[in-house]
Amino acid sequence: MITVHGMSMSGNCYKVRLLLEQLGREYRWNEVDAPRGATRTPEFLAKNPNGRVPLLELDDGRTLPESNAILCWLAEGTGFLPADAWQKAQALGWMFFEQYSHEPYVAVARFIRGWTPADSPRRAELPRLHERGHQALAVMERHLQAADWFSGPQYGIVDIALFAYTHCAADGGFDLAAYPRLGDWLARVRATPGFVPMQANDAEAVARFALAD
Amino acid sequence: MITVHGMSMSGNCYKVRLLLEQLGREYRWNEVDAPRGATRTPEFLAKNPNGRVPLLELDDGRTLPESNAILCWLAEGTGFLPADAWQKAQALGWMFFEQYSHEPYVAVARFIRGWTPADSPRRAELPRLHERGHQALAVMERHLQAADWFSGPQYGIVDIALFAYTHCAADGGFDLAAYPRLGDWLARVRATPGFVPMQANDAEAVARFALAD
Protein backbone atom coordinates (compact mmCIF):
# COMPACT_ATOMS: atom_id res chain seq x y z
CA MET A 1 0.00 0.00 0.00
CA ILE A 2 1.08 3.58 -0.65
CA THR A 3 2.14 5.76 2.27
CA VAL A 4 1.86 9.53 2.03
CA HIS A 5 4.01 11.55 4.41
CA GLY A 6 2.17 14.84 4.64
CA MET A 7 0.90 17.74 6.65
CA SER A 8 -2.89 18.11 6.45
CA MET A 9 -2.85 21.91 6.52
CA SER A 10 -0.56 22.08 3.47
CA GLY A 11 -2.18 22.58 0.09
CA ASN A 12 0.63 20.68 -1.60
CA CYS A 13 -0.14 17.66 0.59
CA TYR A 14 -3.89 18.09 0.14
CA LYS A 15 -3.41 17.68 -3.63
CA VAL A 16 -2.21 14.11 -3.12
CA ARG A 17 -5.00 13.25 -0.70
CA LEU A 18 -7.68 14.64 -3.01
CA LEU A 19 -6.42 12.63 -5.99
CA LEU A 20 -6.09 9.40 -3.98
CA GLU A 21 -9.63 9.83 -2.64
CA GLN A 22 -11.00 10.49 -6.11
CA LEU A 23 -9.11 7.52 -7.55
CA GLY A 24 -10.50 5.36 -4.74
CA ARG A 25 -6.98 4.16 -3.92
CA GLU A 26 -6.13 2.84 -0.48
CA TYR A 27 -3.30 4.66 1.26
CA ARG A 28 -1.76 5.33 4.63
CA TRP A 29 -1.41 8.95 5.73
CA ASN A 30 1.54 9.70 7.98
CA GLU A 31 1.01 13.14 9.52
CA VAL A 32 4.40 14.88 9.64
CA ASP A 33 5.00 17.60 12.21
CA ALA A 34 7.17 19.83 10.03
CA PRO A 35 7.02 22.85 12.38
CA ARG A 36 8.55 20.64 15.09
CA GLY A 37 11.37 19.66 12.71
CA ALA A 38 10.09 16.26 11.58
CA THR A 39 11.23 16.93 7.98
CA ARG A 40 14.77 17.76 9.16
CA THR A 41 15.61 14.51 10.98
CA PRO A 42 18.28 12.21 9.49
CA GLU A 43 15.56 9.57 8.99
CA PHE A 44 13.36 11.90 6.95
CA LEU A 45 16.27 13.41 5.01
CA ALA A 46 17.29 9.87 4.02
CA LYS A 47 13.87 9.56 2.39
CA ASN A 48 13.84 13.09 0.90
CA PRO A 49 17.12 15.03 0.98
CA ASN A 50 15.17 18.20 0.14
CA GLY A 51 13.32 17.88 3.47
CA ARG A 52 9.82 18.53 2.19
CA VAL A 53 6.37 17.02 2.23
CA PRO A 54 4.39 15.55 0.59
CA LEU A 55 6.50 12.47 0.04
CA LEU A 56 5.09 9.27 -1.39
CA GLU A 57 6.56 5.97 -0.17
CA LEU A 58 6.04 2.50 -1.62
CA ASP A 59 6.03 -0.69 0.44
CA ASP A 60 9.56 -1.51 -0.73
CA GLY A 61 10.83 1.81 0.63
CA ARG A 62 11.20 3.64 -2.68
CA THR A 63 10.13 7.27 -2.40
CA LEU A 64 8.91 10.04 -4.70
CA PRO A 65 9.02 13.74 -3.74
CA GLU A 66 7.29 16.82 -5.22
CA SER A 67 3.51 17.08 -5.09
CA ASN A 68 3.04 17.57 -8.82
CA ALA A 69 5.36 14.68 -9.74
CA ILE A 70 3.36 12.49 -7.36
CA LEU A 71 0.11 13.58 -9.03
CA CYS A 72 1.51 12.75 -12.48
CA TRP A 73 2.68 9.32 -11.37
CA LEU A 74 -0.60 8.43 -9.68
CA ALA A 75 -2.68 9.74 -12.59
CA GLU A 76 -0.77 8.00 -15.39
CA GLY A 77 -3.15 5.77 -17.30
CA THR A 78 -6.24 7.22 -15.61
CA GLY A 79 -8.72 9.83 -16.80
CA PHE A 80 -7.07 12.41 -14.54
CA LEU A 81 -4.27 12.97 -17.06
CA PRO A 82 -4.77 13.12 -20.84
CA ALA A 83 -3.25 10.25 -22.82
CA ASP A 84 -2.58 12.44 -25.87
CA ALA A 85 1.08 13.56 -25.88
CA TRP A 86 0.36 17.20 -26.75
CA GLN A 87 -2.45 17.52 -24.21
CA LYS A 88 -0.22 15.89 -21.61
CA ALA A 89 2.50 18.44 -22.39
CA GLN A 90 -0.03 21.26 -21.93
CA ALA A 91 -1.06 19.76 -18.58
CA LEU A 92 2.58 19.62 -17.55
CA GLY A 93 3.01 23.25 -18.59
CA TRP A 94 0.23 24.20 -16.17
CA MET A 95 1.80 22.06 -13.41
CA PHE A 96 5.04 24.05 -13.75
CA PHE A 97 3.02 27.28 -13.88
CA GLU A 98 1.42 26.27 -10.59
CA GLN A 99 4.74 25.68 -8.84
CA TYR A 100 6.59 28.67 -10.33
CA SER A 101 4.06 31.45 -10.94
CA HIS A 102 1.19 30.64 -8.55
CA GLU A 103 2.16 28.74 -5.38
CA PRO A 104 5.17 30.93 -4.39
CA TYR A 105 2.79 33.92 -4.21
CA VAL A 106 -0.72 32.65 -3.43
CA ALA A 107 0.36 29.96 -0.94
CA VAL A 108 3.13 31.99 0.66
CA ALA A 109 0.78 34.95 1.28
CA ARG A 110 -1.61 32.54 3.03
CA PHE A 111 1.25 31.22 5.15
CA ILE A 112 2.46 34.67 6.16
CA ARG A 113 -1.03 35.94 7.03
CA GLY A 114 -2.12 32.77 8.79
CA TRP A 115 0.98 31.48 10.51
CA THR A 116 3.25 34.42 11.39
CA PRO A 117 2.78 36.99 14.18
CA ALA A 118 1.15 40.30 13.24
CA ASP A 119 4.49 42.07 13.66
CA SER A 120 6.54 39.57 11.62
CA PRO A 121 8.99 41.26 9.22
CA ARG A 122 7.82 38.77 6.59
CA ARG A 123 4.58 40.77 6.30
CA ALA A 124 6.59 43.30 4.25
CA GLU A 125 6.61 40.68 1.46
CA LEU A 126 2.81 40.77 1.10
CA PRO A 127 2.43 43.61 -1.46
CA ARG A 128 4.77 41.88 -3.93
CA LEU A 129 3.15 38.49 -3.28
CA HIS A 130 -0.27 40.00 -3.95
CA GLU A 131 0.90 41.64 -7.17
CA ARG A 132 2.41 38.41 -8.53
CA GLY A 133 -0.41 36.24 -7.20
CA HIS A 134 -3.00 38.38 -8.96
CA GLN A 135 -1.03 38.01 -12.20
CA ALA A 136 -1.32 34.23 -11.85
CA LEU A 137 -5.03 34.38 -11.04
CA ALA A 138 -5.58 36.60 -14.10
CA VAL A 139 -3.82 34.03 -16.32
CA MET A 140 -6.16 31.37 -14.94
CA GLU A 141 -9.25 33.56 -15.47
CA ARG A 142 -8.19 34.15 -19.07
CA HIS A 143 -7.81 30.42 -19.70
CA LEU A 144 -11.32 29.80 -18.39
CA GLN A 145 -12.79 32.09 -21.06
CA ALA A 146 -12.45 29.21 -23.50
CA ALA A 147 -12.20 26.09 -21.33
CA ASP A 148 -13.93 24.47 -18.37
CA TRP A 149 -10.83 22.73 -17.01
CA PHE A 150 -7.06 23.15 -16.86
CA SER A 151 -6.17 19.47 -17.29
CA GLY A 152 -7.56 19.12 -20.82
CA PRO A 153 -11.06 18.26 -22.01
CA GLN A 154 -12.00 16.98 -18.55
CA TYR A 155 -11.26 17.45 -14.86
CA GLY A 156 -7.89 16.10 -13.74
CA ILE A 157 -4.65 16.65 -11.89
CA VAL A 158 -3.99 20.19 -13.10
CA ASP A 159 -7.34 21.22 -11.65
CA ILE A 160 -6.38 19.49 -8.41
CA ALA A 161 -2.96 21.18 -8.34
CA LEU A 162 -4.41 24.65 -8.99
CA PHE A 163 -7.42 24.17 -6.71
CA ALA A 164 -5.20 23.42 -3.70
CA TYR A 165 -4.18 27.02 -3.06
CA THR A 166 -6.67 28.93 -5.23
CA HIS A 167 -9.68 27.84 -3.17
CA CYS A 168 -8.11 29.27 -0.01
CA ALA A 169 -6.52 32.33 -1.67
CA ALA A 170 -8.74 34.58 0.48
CA ASP A 171 -6.73 33.40 3.52
CA GLY A 172 -3.75 35.13 1.89
CA GLY A 173 -5.68 38.35 1.30
CA PHE A 174 -6.73 37.74 -2.31
CA ASP A 175 -10.24 38.89 -3.22
CA LEU A 176 -11.52 36.48 -5.88
CA ALA A 177 -14.60 38.61 -6.68
CA ALA A 178 -12.78 40.01 -9.71
CA TYR A 179 -12.47 36.50 -11.19
CA PRO A 180 -15.99 35.22 -11.83
CA ARG A 181 -14.87 32.32 -14.03
CA LEU A 182 -12.46 31.19 -11.33
CA GLY A 183 -15.34 31.16 -8.88
CA ASP A 184 -17.40 28.98 -11.21
CA TRP A 185 -14.46 26.64 -11.74
CA LEU A 186 -13.90 26.28 -7.98
CA ALA A 187 -17.56 25.27 -7.68
CA ARG A 188 -17.18 22.75 -10.52
CA VAL A 189 -14.16 21.19 -8.78
CA ARG A 190 -16.09 20.92 -5.49
CA ALA A 191 -18.87 19.10 -7.39
CA THR A 192 -16.62 16.37 -8.83
CA PRO A 193 -17.21 12.79 -7.66
CA GLY A 194 -15.35 11.87 -4.50
CA PHE A 195 -14.29 15.44 -3.74
CA VAL A 196 -12.97 15.97 -0.20
CA PRO A 197 -12.22 19.41 1.29
CA MET A 198 -8.87 20.44 2.74
CA GLN A 199 -8.64 20.02 6.49
CA ALA A 200 -9.35 23.24 8.40
CA ASN A 201 -6.42 24.78 10.22
CA ASP A 202 -5.81 23.37 13.65
CA ALA A 203 -5.35 26.19 16.18
CA GLU A 204 -2.66 24.36 18.10
CA ALA A 205 -0.70 23.63 14.93
CA VAL A 206 -1.01 27.27 13.85
CA ALA A 207 0.47 28.33 17.18
CA ARG A 208 3.41 25.96 16.69
CA PHE A 209 3.98 27.31 13.19
CA ALA A 210 4.11 30.84 14.53
CA LEU A 211 6.75 29.79 17.06
CA ALA A 212 8.81 28.07 14.36
CA ASP A 213 8.85 31.12 12.06
CA MET B 1 9.47 23.10 -38.18
CA ILE B 2 9.54 24.04 -34.50
CA THR B 3 9.99 27.68 -33.53
CA VAL B 4 11.46 28.59 -30.16
CA HIS B 5 10.72 32.07 -28.87
CA GLY B 6 13.55 32.71 -26.46
CA MET B 7 16.17 35.00 -25.01
CA SER B 8 19.69 33.66 -25.45
CA MET B 9 20.97 34.95 -22.11
CA SER B 10 18.24 33.07 -20.21
CA GLY B 11 19.14 29.68 -18.76
CA ASN B 12 15.54 28.54 -19.10
CA CYS B 13 15.71 29.25 -22.84
CA TYR B 14 19.18 27.72 -23.15
CA LYS B 15 17.76 24.42 -21.85
CA VAL B 16 15.56 24.13 -24.93
CA ARG B 17 18.35 25.06 -27.32
CA LEU B 18 20.74 22.53 -25.76
CA LEU B 19 18.25 19.68 -26.02
CA LEU B 20 17.29 20.54 -29.62
CA GLU B 21 20.98 20.66 -30.60
CA GLN B 22 21.67 17.32 -28.91
CA LEU B 23 18.61 15.75 -30.51
CA GLY B 24 19.77 17.07 -33.89
CA ARG B 25 16.35 18.62 -34.47
CA GLU B 26 15.92 21.50 -36.86
CA TYR B 27 14.35 24.58 -35.32
CA ARG B 28 13.92 28.30 -35.76
CA TRP B 29 15.07 30.56 -32.92
CA ASN B 30 13.15 33.81 -32.52
CA GLU B 31 15.15 36.07 -30.23
CA VAL B 32 12.67 37.90 -27.98
CA ASP B 33 13.64 41.25 -26.48
CA ALA B 34 11.92 40.76 -23.12
CA PRO B 35 13.60 43.77 -21.43
CA ARG B 36 12.07 45.97 -24.16
CA GLY B 37 8.63 44.52 -23.42
CA ALA B 38 8.39 41.98 -26.25
CA THR B 39 6.76 39.41 -23.93
CA ARG B 40 4.08 41.91 -22.87
CA THR B 41 2.63 42.76 -26.30
CA PRO B 42 -0.92 41.62 -27.11
CA GLU B 43 0.54 39.40 -29.86
CA PHE B 44 2.88 37.61 -27.47
CA LEU B 45 0.29 37.35 -24.68
CA ALA B 46 -2.06 35.70 -27.17
CA LYS B 47 0.59 32.99 -27.56
CA ASN B 48 1.48 32.80 -23.83
CA PRO B 49 -0.84 34.61 -21.40
CA ASN B 50 1.83 34.23 -18.71
CA GLY B 51 4.16 36.44 -20.77
CA ARG B 52 7.28 34.31 -20.46
CA VAL B 53 9.93 32.70 -22.60
CA PRO B 54 10.86 30.11 -23.67
CA LEU B 55 7.77 29.36 -25.69
CA LEU B 56 7.65 26.58 -28.27
CA GLU B 57 5.47 27.09 -31.34
CA LEU B 58 4.44 24.51 -33.93
CA ASP B 59 3.83 25.32 -37.60
CA ASP B 60 0.07 25.20 -37.07
CA GLY B 61 0.33 27.90 -34.38
CA ARG B 62 -0.12 25.69 -31.33
CA THR B 63 2.14 26.75 -28.47
CA LEU B 64 3.67 25.19 -25.36
CA PRO B 65 5.04 27.27 -22.45
CA GLU B 66 7.34 26.38 -19.51
CA SER B 67 10.91 25.28 -20.21
CA ASN B 68 10.64 21.98 -18.36
CA ALA B 69 7.33 21.03 -20.00
CA ILE B 70 8.96 21.75 -23.37
CA LEU B 71 11.93 19.52 -22.46
CA CYS B 72 9.57 16.69 -21.45
CA TRP B 73 7.60 16.97 -24.67
CA LEU B 74 10.67 17.06 -26.91
CA ALA B 75 12.36 14.19 -25.03
CA GLU B 76 9.39 11.82 -24.99
CA GLY B 77 10.36 8.60 -26.72
CA THR B 78 14.07 9.51 -26.83
CA GLY B 79 16.95 8.44 -24.58
CA PHE B 80 16.84 11.84 -22.87
CA LEU B 81 13.88 10.74 -20.71
CA PRO B 82 13.54 7.27 -19.14
CA ALA B 83 10.73 5.12 -20.52
CA ASP B 84 10.15 3.35 -17.19
CA ALA B 85 7.21 4.94 -15.35
CA TRP B 86 8.89 5.11 -11.94
CA GLN B 87 12.16 6.51 -13.34
CA LYS B 88 10.15 9.03 -15.33
CA ALA B 89 8.36 10.08 -12.15
CA GLN B 90 11.72 10.55 -10.42
CA ALA B 91 12.92 12.66 -13.34
CA LEU B 92 9.78 14.77 -13.07
CA GLY B 93 10.40 15.16 -9.33
CA TRP B 94 13.79 16.66 -10.12
CA MET B 95 12.27 18.94 -12.77
CA PHE B 96 9.91 20.38 -10.15
CA PHE B 97 12.82 20.62 -7.68
CA GLU B 98 14.68 22.67 -10.30
CA GLN B 99 11.84 25.14 -10.79
CA TYR B 100 10.82 25.43 -7.12
CA SER B 101 13.94 24.93 -4.99
CA HIS B 102 16.83 25.81 -7.32
CA GLU B 103 16.02 28.32 -10.09
CA PRO B 104 14.25 30.90 -7.85
CA TYR B 105 17.47 31.21 -5.83
CA VAL B 106 20.42 30.31 -8.07
CA ALA B 107 19.08 32.01 -11.22
CA VAL B 108 17.61 35.03 -9.46
CA ALA B 109 20.89 35.72 -7.62
CA ARG B 110 22.65 35.69 -11.00
CA PHE B 111 20.06 38.10 -12.39
CA ILE B 112 20.37 40.51 -9.46
CA ARG B 113 24.18 40.51 -9.49
CA GLY B 114 24.49 40.68 -13.27
CA TRP B 115 21.61 42.84 -14.37
CA THR B 116 20.74 45.33 -11.65
CA PRO B 117 22.67 48.45 -10.60
CA ALA B 118 25.08 48.13 -7.66
CA ASP B 119 22.72 50.20 -5.50
CA SER B 120 19.54 48.28 -6.43
CA PRO B 121 17.34 47.54 -3.39
CA ARG B 122 16.97 44.02 -4.79
CA ARG B 123 20.55 43.31 -3.64
CA ALA B 124 19.11 42.98 -0.12
CA GLU B 125 17.56 39.70 -1.29
CA LEU B 126 20.97 38.12 -1.92
CA PRO B 127 21.71 36.63 1.54
CA ARG B 128 18.42 34.69 1.54
CA LEU B 129 18.90 33.64 -2.09
CA HIS B 130 22.38 32.36 -1.25
CA GLU B 131 21.13 30.42 1.78
CA ARG B 132 18.35 28.73 -0.18
CA GLY B 133 20.50 28.24 -3.29
CA HIS B 134 23.19 26.49 -1.26
CA GLN B 135 20.52 24.18 0.18
CA ALA B 136 19.58 23.18 -3.37
CA LEU B 137 23.21 22.69 -4.41
CA ALA B 138 23.77 20.50 -1.33
CA VAL B 139 20.80 18.32 -2.29
CA MET B 140 22.34 17.88 -5.75
CA GLU B 141 25.79 17.08 -4.29
CA ARG B 142 24.20 14.43 -2.05
CA HIS B 143 22.43 12.81 -5.01
CA LEU B 144 25.73 12.59 -6.90
CA GLN B 145 27.24 10.46 -4.10
CA ALA B 146 25.40 7.49 -5.59
CA ALA B 147 24.61 8.50 -9.17
CA ASP B 148 26.31 10.01 -12.21
CA TRP B 149 23.21 11.70 -13.60
CA PHE B 150 19.93 13.25 -12.44
CA SER B 151 17.77 11.99 -15.31
CA GLY B 152 18.12 8.30 -14.48
CA PRO B 153 20.76 5.77 -15.55
CA GLN B 154 21.96 8.09 -18.31
CA TYR B 155 22.29 11.75 -19.22
CA GLY B 156 19.02 13.45 -20.13
CA ILE B 157 16.66 16.37 -19.66
CA VAL B 158 16.99 16.65 -15.88
CA ASP B 159 20.72 17.13 -16.32
CA ILE B 160 19.99 19.76 -18.97
CA ALA B 161 17.46 21.54 -16.72
CA LEU B 162 19.82 21.59 -13.72
CA PHE B 163 22.92 22.42 -15.77
CA ALA B 164 21.32 25.59 -17.15
CA TYR B 165 21.74 27.66 -13.98
CA THR B 166 24.18 25.51 -11.98
CA HIS B 167 27.02 25.97 -14.47
CA CYS B 168 26.79 29.76 -14.13
CA ALA B 169 26.00 29.81 -10.39
CA ALA B 170 29.27 31.67 -9.77
CA ASP B 171 27.73 34.67 -11.61
CA GLY B 172 25.24 34.79 -8.74
CA GLY B 173 27.95 34.65 -6.09
CA PHE B 174 27.88 30.90 -5.39
CA ASP B 175 31.26 29.27 -4.81
CA LEU B 176 31.02 25.72 -6.14
CA ALA B 177 34.37 24.65 -4.61
CA ALA B 178 32.50 23.03 -1.72
CA TYR B 179 30.68 20.72 -4.16
CA PRO B 180 33.33 18.54 -5.84
CA ARG B 181 30.82 16.03 -7.25
CA LEU B 182 28.85 18.88 -8.81
CA GLY B 183 32.03 20.06 -10.48
CA ASP B 184 32.64 16.60 -11.94
CA TRP B 185 29.04 16.38 -13.12
CA LEU B 186 29.26 19.78 -14.85
CA ALA B 187 32.34 18.47 -16.70
CA ARG B 188 30.47 15.29 -17.68
CA VAL B 189 27.59 17.35 -19.09
CA ARG B 190 29.99 19.51 -21.11
CA ALA B 191 31.50 16.31 -22.58
CA THR B 192 28.17 14.91 -23.87
CA PRO B 193 27.77 14.60 -27.67
CA GLY B 194 26.48 17.72 -29.35
CA PHE B 195 26.89 19.91 -26.25
CA VAL B 196 26.66 23.66 -26.93
CA PRO B 197 27.48 26.33 -24.34
CA MET B 198 25.10 29.07 -23.25
CA GLN B 199 25.61 32.34 -25.09
CA ALA B 200 27.78 34.83 -23.17
CA ASN B 201 26.04 37.92 -21.90
CA ASP B 202 25.78 40.72 -24.40
CA ALA B 203 26.89 44.02 -22.82
CA GLU B 204 24.22 46.06 -24.58
CA ALA B 205 21.49 43.66 -23.51
CA VAL B 206 22.76 43.74 -19.93
CA ALA B 207 22.51 47.52 -19.98
CA ARG B 208 18.92 47.33 -21.21
CA PHE B 209 18.05 44.82 -18.49
CA ALA B 210 19.42 47.17 -15.85
CA LEU B 211 17.22 49.95 -17.19
CA ALA B 212 14.16 47.70 -17.15
CA ASP B 213 14.67 46.62 -13.53
| Rounded percentage of chain A residues whose pLDDT exceeds 90 | 91
At A191, give phi and psi (nearest 5°): -90, 0
Task: Give the pLDDT band (50/70/90) at residue A75.
Answer: very high
Task: Give the pLDDT band (50/70/90) at residue A209.
Answer: low
Fold topology of A2-79: Glutaredoxin (3.40.30)
DSSP string, A148-212: S-SSSSS--HHHHHHHHHHTTGGGGT--GGG-HHHHHHHHHHHTSTT--PPPPPPHHHHHHHHHH
Distances (CA, A) of A161 to A14, A19, A66, A186: 9, 10, 12, 12
pLDDT value, residue A106: 98
Any B CB within 8 A of A68 CB: yes
Task: Give the pLDDT band (50/70/90) at residue A203.
Answer: low
Q: What is the pLDDT of residues B116-173, one digit of tens each?
A: 999 999 999 999 999 999 999 999 999 999 999 999 999 999 999 999 999 999 999 9
Name which of A66, A132, A141 to mutate to probe chain B: the one with the most chain B Cβ atoms within 10 A of its Cβ.
Answer: A66
| Contact flag B68-A143 (C-beta cutoff 8 Å) | no
Q: What is the pLDDT of residues A96-139, one digit of tens each?
A: 999 999 999 999 999 999 999 999 999 999 999 999 999 999 99
- Tell me which residue in A62, A89, A142 faces B69 most closely, judged by beta carbons: A89
Instruction: Establish whether the linkage from the previous residue to A193 is cis, with ω within 30° of 0.
Output: no
Residues of chain B whose pLDDT is less than 50? 212-213
pLDDT value, residue B96: 98
Any A CB within 8 A of B99 CB: yes
- Span B85-190: which CATH code? 1.20.1050.10
Integer distance in angstroms from the first to the last C-alpha of chain A?
35
pLDDT value, residue B213: 42
B204 or A94, higher pLDDT: A94
Three-state DSSP class for residue A81: coil
Any B CB within 8 A of A87 CB: no
Please state the domain extents for chain A. Answer: 2-79, 85-190
pLDDT surpassing 50 at residue A213: no
Chain A residue with minimum CA distance to B99: A100
pLDDT value, residue B207: 61
Any A CB within 8 A of B49 CB: yes
Superfamily of domain B2-78 in CATH is Glutaredoxin (3.40.30.10)
pLDDT surpassing 90 at residue A35: no
- Tell me which residue in B50, B70, B92 faces A72 most closely, judged by beta carbons: B92
pLDDT surpassing 70 at residue A204: no
Q: Quick one: average pLDDT of A185-196?
A: 98
Any B CB within 8 A of A185 CB: no
